[in-house]
Structure 1
Amino acid sequence: MKTYYQKLLSLSFLIFAMSFQVFSQEEPTEKPVYRISGKIMEKGSGEPVAYAAVSLIDVETEKSIAGAVADFDGEFVITNFKNGTYQVQVSFMGFQSFASSTITVTDTNYDIRLGNISMETDAVALQEVTVMGQRDLIEEKVDRTIYNAENDRTLVGGDAADVMRRVPMLSVDLDGNVSMRGSSNILVLINGKQSAIVASNVSEALKQIPAEEIKSIEVITSPSAKYDAEGTGGVINIVTKKNNLQGATLNVNSSAGIRGSNLGLNASLKRGKMGWTLGGFGRAGYNIIGAFENNQIVTGADGTVANIFQAADTRTNMMFGRYNFGWDYEINKFNFLTASVSFGLRNMSNRQDGLLTETFIEEELVSSLLRDVNVRNRSNNVDVNFNYTKTYEKPLKEFSISGLYSQNNLTNDFINSLYTGTFDEILNRVKNNDLGLNQEFTLQLDYVTPLGDGKNHILEYGAKNILRRAESDFAYFIADGADGEFEKVDDINLSNEFSYDQNVTAAYASYTTNFLEKYSFKGGLRYEYTNINADFRNSEIDADIPSYGLLIPSMNLSRKLEKGNMIKAAYNRRVQRPFLNFLNPNINAANPQQISQGNPLLDPELTDNYEMSYSTFVKGSSLNFTAYFRNTTGSIQPVRTVMDDDVIYTTYENIGFERAYGFSVFSNVNLSGKFSLNGSIDGYYADLTNGLEDPMFAASNQGFVISGRLFANYSLPNNWQLQSFAFARGRQVQLQGFAGGFGMYSLNINKQFNEKKGSIGFGAENFLAREMVIRNELNTPMIMQQGSNTMRNMNFKINFNYRIGKLSVDGPRRRKRGVTNDDIKEGDGGASGAMMNNN
């Protein structure tokens, strides 16, 4: 469906885009222009049906004489036909086909205006269940790209990270870390809101959201002033399925495999103006085995060169759960209430069995150590949301007030057991406990009002306040032997309490206008003031962080071309505040040879984004081409140095700059009514430098990063469906090295039964190779490191889904607003421990 945001678009070079107006004007002619025009609307909601296919059929021969494709506003014009008797037919996926009455074209009746054509959604009766028809898998809107995950049957048994791997412009590594066009500094929202669980660690939060609960994922590369200024790469909004039906229903979905299984139950009840939803989903991963090797050459301060080799087998087990209760109430035609509470939990265990560390100096073995490492990562969270929306007789006019309270409790522990020189018994053990607490309270006001006739001018403004508190209570303990009691280490650098309070106050205004018939412009200005207080409770360490204010402009410009094509340009400035695992001062020494620590004194990074794109629609297939430039100053990057005993120390610093020159191409192709294919290619050239002159610390790196994906769907007879997916990403450029590339693929076949009330299927993932190896590089004047991680993630699974109950359509859902906290930089899953990072 289409909101008024789709009448806007992305911005910057106004004169360049307006030049297309000249070439789109029709040549004057003295001959009559034969044409049939109209506008295609969705029955009930009245929203335009973009990209609907329109055919002009000769009644006598029953052949197609001419055709057209509706534009973004649902408008179409058919030309290039002669006198005769015709019928107009309209078709689009998810809607019932439309056929007009007979039209007679003569010398005096050659310009025919059909007006609005209403199309009904293609509802299929399933005994007592009504299911809405599918839409395209990928939709290109004027301000965002939408991936309709509810139409992807290969995702049964997966999670949100599996869904994002299929979305154009996004890249997800094997740990679930998400990047957009090469930038990991993105904002991830859930139904337009961000909770403390997402703020703590995006990759872990994604594992708690089952794929079956996701309706769509929206990728917003150039956010307007309404959004928080955070998120250098853009905004990702995960839209979950909501209930707008009358009646009661219960849905059971499950999957069982050799590497992971899940079980979910979801119920909904709608009676009159009030609705309730209750759901829960659990996912377990087990026996996920792998290995890693690491070879590093380290130059010490005295010039001694050490060659250190590490290797271990790994085992991972995990269990995730998320439960929610929602309520909504339509007070009257113009007033609407929603509220929800959700609970989540995570229990994850990572083991390194037989971590062998061998140190050579001038090819002589000087040390050989054997350890077992056990890392436990646990958390539980609660989110409470409330929203009140008031609408008016005047279309698009709306006021809303939203509130959010979120709390996330985290526990990050590790135990490192060192064996004796004979490797036959444990000499001592080291334990690190890190108890974290994240709390967040948000209040937001938004007001939208059309100006004048309300068709071409819209004004939006609002205010927001976010109060955050993050705490980390960390401590180290040591014990002798395998059974000795742990004793706390009396060192304020290893055992302390750290608190971090952040208060962000913001106000914004945004103006949207349509002009010169085919142009849309949206410009806005946002001001944010951030106040920060940080404190080490058990020491006198000075963590004074100054407050700062930021003025954030944004501009978007679009121009509609012929046949639904569109060109758009955009510019915006974004800020990325350091938070969470970037700041946590707890020293993570699970691997004593490679330790990491956050930096509480980091400054925010500032990015200017420029973007241009072109969208077209050719014979039922959509194409999008985008070019962009991103310039970041003060980019937050991991920095490695050498400590005593040849230990590599990782922390975070604001480097000089980071530039990215990129492009993306993606297409959605409907080859027939049964077979569809979509894919994308994303690439960018990265240029990073820390701006230092000292050759011992100066660092820079450049290179190309390419990724691509391909998805195919084929509908077989008798309600069988076959789907396949493949994704690959080349190595990523980092300040001091490269992160290795990887690929993955899957194949699913599903069968619907009992009048499509249930489905059962079989899926296979990464089934052609037993192992996947990812190779990483690190290069500094003091460090040369090559490492590899091996994962055995081949998985075979059986999927089952069944729905019972009685539902009927309750009409179009009322638009609802909510809190959108768009404002924290997430880590790469690598360094610091617990306060808000869950590795």
Structure 2
Amino acid sequence: MNMKRIVMAVMLTMMLAVCIKAQNTDVTYKVRGEVVDSLTLKGEPYATISIFRKGAGDKPVAMAVTDLNGKFNVESRGEGTYVFTISSMGRNTIRRTFEIGAERKTINMGRLLITDSRTELKGVEVVAYKPLVKADIDKLSYSVADDPESKTVNAIDMLKKVPMVTVDGQDNIKVNGSTSFKVYVNGKPNNMMSNNPSEVLKSMPASSIKKIEVITNPGPKYDAEGVGGILNIITEGKGLEGYTATVSLRGSNTGGGGGVYATVKERKLTVSVNYNNSIQNDKKTYSDTERSVTDDNGVPTTVTKDSRTTKPNSQWHSGSLEASYEIDSLRLITASLSLSRYSRKENSDAQTHTLAPASGTGLYGYSSDIFNKDSYSSVSGAVDYQRSFSVKDRLLTFSYRIESDPQTNKQRIRYLDMYAGESWTDFINRIKNQDMDGDQSSTEHTFQLDYTTPFAKHHTFETGAKYILRDNKSTNDKYDAATDGNGELAYDKDNSSHFKHRNDIFAAYLGYGLSLAKWSARLGLRYEHTLQDVKYIVGRGSDFRKNFDDLVPSAKLGYKFSDMMNISLSYKMRISRPGIYYLNPYINDTNPESISQGNSNLDSEKTHSFDLQFSSFAQKFSCSLTTSYSFTNNSIQNVQRMVNDNDIAGLPNPTGKQVLYTTYYNIGKTQNVNFNGYVSWNPLTDTRFTLNAWGGYSHLTDGQSLKNHGWNVSLWTSLQQTIAKTWTVSLSAYMQTPDISLQGKTSSMFSHDFSVSKSFMDKRLNITFNCGNPFKKYFKYNSDISGPNFAYKQQYRFCMQYVALGVSYRIGKLQARVKKAERTIENNDVKQGGGSSSDTNMGPGK
């Protein structure tokens, strides 16, 4: 009986304790704050938060992690005294004590500074992947540095993984479904990148890139150019008081290269140096084209077949120097200098034959030997002065930037084995051996003033002004001779071109921002006035002036469910001004069968877009979903048609034959419905599945007889597995459906690759092996274009099979990075030509 009484007493005591505890846990409390690095003041992502009841053992009553910006908001229950700790790998633990009572249910820890631990950690196990994608209100960013495949692949391969970006089978790039976009490097525009994005990015190693930002809704402070948005390639590294340096080498069956990055910090001065080079010796490419001229009933009257073999090789060098100096806590000066050069050589052999399909008789034909040598260079420097104030986030910035972009273009064409029927003799005599020697240069000075200030607690106002002075010069000299091979090349003044092109751009903007607890809103208005003045010194072409006036509005509304989940609705208007490539009225008749000409009467495109975006990012599952609708009523379209060369005004020595004539008009009326989806899922600790998809439906018309419509879908997927903490294996695949244009479409596309990487010495040494398309060497890519009285088909065969090996090694330790002025110069104001495969042979002035 005594034992039963003891048991009953114990049970009653336990029940009483449970009741008392239940009474104590009636109080719900919240603990919030922010964890930032003590030196850089950047948020500490995924730090572990633990709350313990004081004196109740080591078992926490609540746990959580900080978000991507280092912020936390933890909820628990119970009154009393608690111990609050924050821990992160390689960091000193933060410890705080607080009390919860009936009158105090919310604890605001404020900003907590976390510091590096001097104790070296060993045997730490990675329990989750860091998300590769982050979404802000106006941009998405992809962390290239955290992707193991970045050790060997090039930049354009990494673009296939970036949300809202697609890369087709010929490495043509689209941002948000549009080829009209601009490329920045470290927040500053890079003309060489914007003019030749696919070629330069193919030569640029991904290991030199920290992250790629897709600015999908540029605010009013950005230039209005670029329908798809802006690609901002961030290359600077970061590092701890002292220095850091990374050296990398890579090689593949098509070339190789290397690079070095170093940063040194000494008190208030931080300097970084970056250099990379790449040599590409690509495999031969093959193309077969067939152009049919038809009568009004669609029956072919002539068929021209062209077979071409091309062997390209290229080199790329890039170097940059960046520095920042903190005069005091409110004043900062930053400066940068960058140099880059891209060169390419290309040898082509071609055979051209034109037949009468009814009889099979050869009308004319020839073989051609073509050599091209191009170089693109860029030298730029910038200085920014930033003035902060005692009011948080109030900034005044003065910026100056200078950039020069010299280019050279040389071409040598020799014709062999020429023949022609009697009625085609005059036509074939127009084809002559020729050399073309071109030099282009662009020098621009940009001055910019920006001011932003918060007011009335939840509001922000921004304004600024900008002036760009840009001088372009172009000389393109043509030399030709008789086709017998014995004639000396003679200067052809009539078909040469020297001109000067001056651009003056004035811009001003106003912006307003509202930020409440969970809501945010932005409104912006930008005005731009552009003056283009073109003067011809040598060759055909009439001087002309062209002015553009554009008023560009933008708006965005966002709602934040939590620090890791948000949704936004936006409207933006973007423009595409025609550059000299589109405006130049020079008649390029280098190939008398295919004649092209610019149109000096073009106006700037105006595209209106509405976007709805949802983003959610967590350790296990992350996604970003965007749907958009856009329309353009005056898009610049490349229009091709068969005409009698007598009808081309200004063409010297016409022969009365039908030729393919290409020019540009503001006739496009386009409507697009697009969908972008990015998903990253970690079903297991060391496993990551990634999906990047884009789909769109386009309806294009010139308002008359030309029209086309259809779906275009691209899909990139990857499975990544970490083994034994230091091995990473990745498998990926890419698929694309046919692309739609005003006058035709392309073929579908599929490719795949895998990589294996191994890290040594606490991840200071990394070795990666990469292999692409091991079971299929050559891919076929078809393009069909048709119009009144003609049909054009092309089959392009190119090698996508490759193997690559990369090695990188990091020395030193540095926690500071070169500081950046928060506002700086960003020029992205001109629609460039030559970006697509159809825009070829424009001749002088391109």
TM value normalised by structure 1: 0.85
Measure how far apart 1:356 and its partner are.
3.8
Q: Which residue of 2 aligns with 1:163?
A: 158
Matched, 1:533 2:540: no
For residues 240 and 400 of structure 2, the distance between their equivalents in structure 1, rounded to whole angstroms, comes to 26
Matched, 1:510 2:511: yes
Contact 2:260 2:275 in 1 (8 A): yes
DSSP 3-state at the match of 2:544: coil
Matched, 1:202 2:208: no
DSSP 3-state at the match of 1:640: strand
Select 1:400's aligned residue among 371, 376, 397: 397
Contact 1:343 1:382 in 2 (8 A): yes
User: Which of 584-593 and 258-267 deviates more?
Assistant: 584-593
DSSP 3-state at the match of 1:561: strand
DSSP 3-state at the match of 2:224: coil
Contact 1:292 1:312 in 2 (8 A): yes
- In the TM superposition, what are the counterparts of 1:138-217 in structure 2 within 5 Å? 138-207=133-202, 209-217=204-212
Judged with a 3 Å threshold, the aligned counterparts in structure 2 of structure 1 residues 70 and 276 are, in CA distance, closer, same or farther, namely closer
Matched, 1:37 2:31: yes
- In the TM superposition, what are the counterparts of 1:507-656 in structure 2 within 5 Å? 507-515=508-516, 517-538=517-538, 541-561=541-561, 564-585=564-585, 593-617=593-617, 620-643=620-643, 644=645, 645-656=657-668
Read off the aligned partner of 2:477 and give its amino acid letter: A
For residues 225 and 844 of structure 2, the distance between their equivalents in structure 1, rounded to whole angstroms, comes to 18
User: Which of 434-443 and 769-778 deviates more?
Assistant: 434-443
Judged with a 3 Å threshold, the aligned counterparts in structure 2 of structure 1 residues 784 and 822 are, in CA distance, closer, same or farther, namely same
Higher-RCO chain (CA-CA 8 Å, sequence separation at least 6)? 1
DSSP 3-state at the match of 1:203: helix
Judged with a 3 Å threshold, the aligned counterparts in structure 2 of structure 1 residues 540 and 284 are, in CA distance, closer, same or farther, namely closer
For residues 305 and 397 of structure 2, the distance between their equivalents in structure 1, rounded to whole angstroms, comes to 59
Measure how far apart 1:342 and its partner are.
1.9
Read off the aligned partner of 2:710 and give its amino acid letter: G
Contact 1:68 1:563 in 2 (8 A): no
User: Which of 112-121 and 624-633 deviates more?
Assistant: 112-121
Matched, 1:411 2:408: yes
Q: Which residue of 2 aligns with 1:15?
A: none
Contact 2:323 2:818 in 1 (8 A): no
Q: Which has the larger radius of gyration?
A: 2
- In the TM superposition, what are the counterparts of 1:780-791 in structure 2 within 5 Å? 780-791=787-798
DSSP 3-state at the match of 1:362: coil
For residues 340 and 487 of structure 1, the distance between their equivalents in structure 2, rounded to whole angstroms, comes to 45
Select 1:488's aligned residue among 485, 488, 491: 491
What does the per-residue CA deviation read over 1:54-87, in whole Å, with 9 as the maximum and x for residues that have no partner? 67789879598786885978242436x6799998
Q: Which residue of 2 aligns with 1:707?
A: 714
DSSP 3-state at the match of 1:338: strand
For residues 102 and 155 of structure 2, the distance between their equivalents in structure 1, rounded to whole angstroms, comes to 58
DSSP 3-state at the match of 2:207: helix
* Equivalent residues, number: 788
Contact 2:302 2:354 in 1 (8 A): no
Q: Which residue of 1 aligns with 2:650?
A: none
For residues 267 and 836 of structure 1, the distance between their equivalents in structure 2, rounded to whole angstroms, comes to 42
Judged with a 3 Å threshold, the aligned counterparts in structure 2 of structure 1 residues 655 and 334 are, in CA distance, closer, same or farther, namely same
TM value normalised by structure 2: 0.84
Structure 1: state its 5+ residue gaps. 1-30, 693-697
Matched, 1:352 2:348: yes
Matched, 1:752 2:759: yes
What does the per-residue CA deviation read over 1:317-350, in whole Å, with 9 as the maximum and x for residues that have no partner? 1111112233332222222222222222222122
Measure how far apart 1:272 and its partner are.
2.2
Matched, 1:231 2:238: no
Contact 1:264 1:281 in 2 (8 A): yes
What does the per-residue CA deviation read over 1:549-589, in whole Å, with 9 as the maximum and x for residues that have no partner? 22211111111225743221111211111115333456666
What does the per-residue CA deviation read over 1:135-175, in whole Å, with 9 as the maximum and x for residues that have no partner? 52111122211101111221224443233222110112355
For residues 261 and 312 of structure 2, the distance between their equivalents in structure 1, rounded to whole angstroms, comes to 28
Measure how far apart 1:590 and its partner are.
6.8
Q: Which residue of 2 aligns with 1:5?
A: none
For residues 355 and 205 of structure 1, the distance between their equivalents in structure 2, rounded to whole angstroms, comes to 30
Read off the aligned partner of 2:211 and give its amino acid letter: S
Matched, 1:668 2:674: no
DSSP 3-state at the match of 1:537: strand
Judged with a 3 Å threshold, the aligned counterparts in structure 2 of structure 1 residues 117 and 743 are, in CA distance, closer, same or farther, namely farther
DSSP 3-state at the match of 1:212: helix
Structure 2: state its 5+ residue gaps. 1-24, 421-428, 646-656
Contact 1:597 1:833 in 2 (8 A): no
Q: Which residue of 2 aligns with 1:288?
A: 283
For residues 605 and 146 of structure 1, the distance between their equivalents in structure 2, rounded to whole angstroms, comes to 27
For residues 34 and 389 of structure 1, the distance between their equivalents in structure 2, rounded to whole angstroms, comes to 45
For residues 799 and 836 of structure 1, the distance between their equivalents in structure 2, rounded to whole angstroms, comes to 41
Matched, 1:429 2:433: yes
DSSP 3-state at the match of 2:145: helix
Select 2:372's aligned residue among 371, 375, 385: 375
DSSP 3-state at the match of 2:242: strand
Judged with a 3 Å threshold, the aligned counterparts in structure 2 of structure 1 residues 95 and 757 are, in CA distance, closer, same or farther, namely closer
What does the per-residue CA deviation read over 1:647-676, in whole Å, with 9 as the maximum and x for residues that have no partner? 323222212321111121212223333222
Matched, 1:476 2:482: no
Judged with a 3 Å threshold, the aligned counterparts in structure 2 of structure 1 residues 479 and 33 are, in CA distance, closer, same or farther, namely farther
Select 1:737's aligned residue among 726, 740, 744: 744
Judged with a 3 Å threshold, the aligned counterparts in structure 2 of structure 1 residues 287 and 63 are, in CA distance, closer, same or farther, namely same
Contact 1:498 1:537 in 2 (8 A): yes
Contact 2:305 2:354 in 1 (8 A): yes
Matched, 1:442 2:451: no
User: Which of 674-683 and 646-655 deviates more?
Assistant: 646-655
- In the TM superposition, what are the counterparts of 1:187-336 in structure 2 within 5 Å? 187-207=182-202, 209-242=204-237, 245-299=240-294, 305-336=301-332
Contact 1:38 1:116 in 2 (8 A): yes
Q: Which residue of 2 aligns with 1:459?
A: 461
Measure how far apart 1:507 and its partner are.
0.7
Matched, 1:386 2:383: yes
Q: Which residue of 1 aligns with 2:424?
A: none
Calculate the aligned-residue CA RMSD, in Å: 3.6
Measure how far apart 1:263 and its partner are.
1.9
Contact 1:157 1:210 in 2 (8 A): yes
Measure how far apart 1:245 and its partner are.
4.8
Contact 1:711 1:723 in 2 (8 A): yes
Contact 1:472 1:834 in 2 (8 A): no
Read off the aligned partner of 2:717 and give its amino acid letter: L
Select 2:724's aligned residue among 717, 728, 742: 717
Contact 1:585 1:832 in 2 (8 A): no
Read off the aligned partner of 1:582 and give its amino acid letter: Y
User: Which of 330-339 and 525-534 deviates more?
Assistant: 330-339
Measure how far apart 1:269 and its partner are.
3.0
Measure how far apart 1:774 and its partner are.
0.9
DSSP 3-state at the match of 1:206: helix
Measure how far apart 1:383 and its partner are.
1.1
Contact 1:386 1:402 in 2 (8 A): yes
For residues 278 and 66 of structure 1, the distance between their equivalents in structure 2, rounded to whole angstroms, comes to 42
User: Which of 172-181 and 394-403 deviates more?
Assistant: 172-181
For residues 119 and 801 of structure 2, the distance between their equivalents in structure 1, rounded to whole angstroms, comes to 38
Measure how far apart 1:235 and its partner are.
1.9
For residues 68 and 211 of structure 2, the distance between their equivalents in structure 1, rounded to whole angstroms, comes to 22
What does the per-residue CA deviation read over 1:188-230, in whole Å, with 9 as the maximum and x for residues that have no partner? 2222211332343333443454322211111121111111111
Measure how far apart 1:747 and its partner are.
1.9
